[in-house]
Amino acid sequence: MTAENDGAEPARSGFERQWSYRPATPIAVSPIFAWPPKPLDIGRWIRDRWFVLGENMVLVGLATLTWLFLQPPLEETRELAFSWIAAMYVRNLVLMIVVAGGLHLYFHARKAQGERLKFDPRDLKASGRIFTLNNQLLDNMVWTLASGVAFWTGFEVLMLWAMANGYVPVLLWSENPIWFVALFFLTPAWISFHFYWIHRWLHWPPLYRMAHALHHRNTNVGPWSGLSMHPIEHLLFFSSVLLHWIVAAHPVHILFHMQHQALTAATSHTGFEGLLVKDKNRFALGTFHHQMHHRYFECNYGNLEVPWDKWFGSFHDGTEESHQRMQERRRRMAGS
Ligand SMILES: [Zn+2]
Ligand SMILES: [Zn+2]
């Protein structure tokens, strides 16, 4: 050991220097799919996702409140009419502005949490010709509110209209309460499956250039980046709810499914791992998993709900070794 590096921190690699905060790596995926099974880990995973105040519980509550107080009854949605459709669109605009706008204000405008749990050291881009209106935030807001919320509402309208007319099977609590509850738990897993394959397809070069490149204008992300997509991508993204053309559901499941899709797009792109309250991460938000997708493109197409990336060879677990493997894969693809 020489005098110069005596006691010094080990040199940080290029990969490490790109991030101001990284969670413990390798990134944990759902233990439900690990072998041999570890029942305690599985119990903890389900508890953290469902039984403490977290995204899923908040969203079940929100869908229930929406159904009870902010949704026209099925008798009314039998006939397509401007008044109730417009009311749903405005309701969804307000939900999006409250969630994405609130997160943006707290984390990026006021910087209330500073750099703590912030993955990327860079700020959102104040200008850039790549962006609509030359500004990352405005670009993201325009695509989210004009196209994203319109498709979100459009799919809700389609499903509720079809239910009201008997084109789609309706599930009632009184018929099968166990399945009624189970459907809430299964929805995020179905969304994860659908999202992984839609997303891989969106990276097929012609479709990428035509549609998905718009979402990838954001190499660093904020809450408004989540649903900032091309209309073609919105169409594919929200189409996961068409499952209920076959699988019976209640309108509250449709609202949960769609709000989950739209609002977790905002929370998962916050750029921060979670909300700190008294120095503890009290509410999980973004994942390093998807943050790396925005920085490196050819990895982590899915989410952590079901380890599709691990099974299909596209997983970047946040370690230096994994990073080397991804770069090696990229070089091979470029050379072939
Ligand atoms: Zn994204
Ligand atoms: Zn992508």
Per-residue model confidence (pLDDT) at position 186: 95
Give the helix ranges, DSSP H, for the chain: 14-17, 39-46, 55-69, 82-96, 102-103, 136-142, 149-164, 177-202, 205-210, 231-238, 251-268, 288-296, 308-311, 320-335
Q: What are phi and psi of 278, to 5 degrees?
A: 50, 50
Query: From the CA of 50, how far away is ligand 2's center (Å)?
Result: 27
Query: From the CA of 68, how far away is ligand 2's center (Å)?
Result: 36
Gap between the Cα atoms of 221 and 286, Å rounded: 10
The closest ligand to the CA of 266 turns out to be 1
Per-residue model confidence (pLDDT) at position 5: 45
Gap between the Cα atoms of 272 and 287, Å rounded: 8
Gap between the Cα atoms of 112 and 325, Å rounded: 36
The closest ligand to the CA of 201 turns out to be 2
Residue by residue, DSSP assigns 62-80 as: HHHHHHHHSS--TTGGGS-
Q: Helix 251-268 and helix 177-202: axis angle, to 10°?
A: 40
The closest ligand to the CA of 233 turns out to be 2
Gap between the Cα atoms of 336 and 318, Å rounded: 26
Q: Which long-range contacts (CB under 8 A, 24 or more apart) does 285-291 make?
A: 285/103, 286/119, 286/221, 287/27, 288/22, 288/23, 288/25, 288/27, 288/119, 288/318, 289/27, 289/316, 289/318, 291/119, 291/120, 291/221
Position 235: which residue type? L
Query: From the CA of 204, how far away is ligand 2's center (Å)?
Result: 10
Query: From the CA of 212, how far away is ligand 1's center (Å)?
Result: 10
- The answer to whether 119 and 19 are in contact (CB under 8 A) is yes
Per-residue model confidence (pLDDT) at position 30: 86
Query: From the CA of 309, how far away is ligand 2's center (Å)?
Result: 13
pLDDT mean for each 10 residues of the chain (336 residues)? 48 82 86 88 83 83 97 96 97 98 97 95 91 96 98 98 97 96 95 95 97 96 98 98 98 98 96 91 88 92 89 91 88 79
Q: For the chain, how many residues are written?
A: 336
Gap between the Cα atoms of 127 and 79, Å rounded: 45
The closest ligand to the CA of 202 turns out to be 2
Query: From the CA of 206, how far away is ligand 2's center (Å)?
Result: 13
The closest ligand to the CA of 271 turns out to be 1
Per-residue model confidence (pLDDT) at position 27: 87
> Model's pTM, two decimal places?
0.90
Position 102: which residue type? G
Query: From the CA of 209, how far away is ligand 1's center (Å)?
Result: 16
Query: From the CA of 183, how far away is ligand 1's center (Å)?
Result: 26
Per-residue model confidence (pLDDT) at position 8: 55
The closest ligand to the CA of 290 turns out to be 1
